[in-house]
Amino acid sequence: MDVPPIVDADWVLARTDAADPSATTGVVLADVRWYLDGRSGREAFEAAHLPGAVFVDLDTDLSASGPPEAGRHPFPSPEHFAARLGALGLGPGATVIGYDDGGGGSAAARLVWMLRILGRPAALLDGGVGAWTGPVEHGPGRVPAPLDVPVEPWPASWFVDHQGAADAGARPDTVLLDARARDRFRGENEVVDPRAGHIPGARSAPWAENVDPHAGRFRPDDELEARYRALGVDDTTEVVAYCGSGVSACTDLLVLEHLGLGHGRLFAASWSGWSADPGRPLALGDE
């Protein structure tokens, strides 16, 4: 794929058609702001967003409903995802740049990863809203012309199920990464999901630690590579990532791709799905 998984604002500005921000080919900006604390991503979008951007709702556009074991954000069916892409004007010919205001794209990474595993050009905007150097717009945003987007099945090789996650934690040749904050990994602070802790054998890899807190952008590549190598990841390692609901783990997966450390797989049900079953084991602390 010619489009790298992570790009900066200059990359986007050099490729954005300022005369026609509603173009369905070329670069299309997608605002995927979402907040675990219940704040409205839509309200944040309307307060200020990148020119020509469309708002993508994590809950309705990028997720489905399901039983508790499927997690808080189950993947949508291929039919639903194609229909929502069409309604948002995100056609197959568009290069989609996803962003949010989390620096490391903890919500936008979900859209970008979904598109990339289908072979569609998409990238995460490094630094999101905070790193944008161009103008912004206010209000409800543009209404895209609906498109007919072909349905493509999710490639099974990019995912693991509950048993696959358990195996990843137990196998010495596989690294199971937990992208949640360290206090949730340890089981010290769990206010969202049914039980506290982590999948046995997992290693703590918070997505937020990919970001320089002062610059609000991803850390330099050498620092990122050192971080993941310290976790046991190299370009031959099999990696599985999870988080609370299969969203922010996509940030870790995109960073690994960016570094040339392979294409990890996602446990989409993540901790919310794992912890919903009281019969599944858990670990606490730094194990």
Residues belonging to the active site: 243
Question: Which has the closest alpha carbon to 203: 235, 239, 234?
Answer: 239
Please check whether residue 106 is in contact with residue 98, taking contact to mean a CB–CB distance below 8 angstroms: no
Question: Which has the closest alpha carbon to 199: 168, 230, 174?
Answer: 168
- Polymer length in residues for the chain: 287
Which residue do the tokens 């790009």 mark?
Answer: 7
Provide CB contacts within 8 A for 179, sequence distance 6+.
205, 206, 207, 241, 242, 243, 248, 249, 251, 252
User: 118-138: b or e for each residue (b if 16 or more CB lie within 10 Å)?
Assistant: bebbbbbbbbbbebbeeeebe
Main-chain dihedrals φ then ψ at residue 225, nearest 5 degrees: -65, -40
- Supply the DSSP string of 191-218, one letter for each residue: SSSSS-SB-TT-EE--GGGGEETTTTEE
How many other CB atoms are there within 10 angstroms of residue 220's CB atom?
11
Helix or strand holding residue 42 (H, E): helix 41-47
The two structure tokens encoding residue 172: 């010495």
Beta strands (DSSP E) in the chain are: 6-7, 26-31, 54-55, 94-99, 122-125, 174-178, 203-204, 211-212, 217-218, 238-242, 265-266
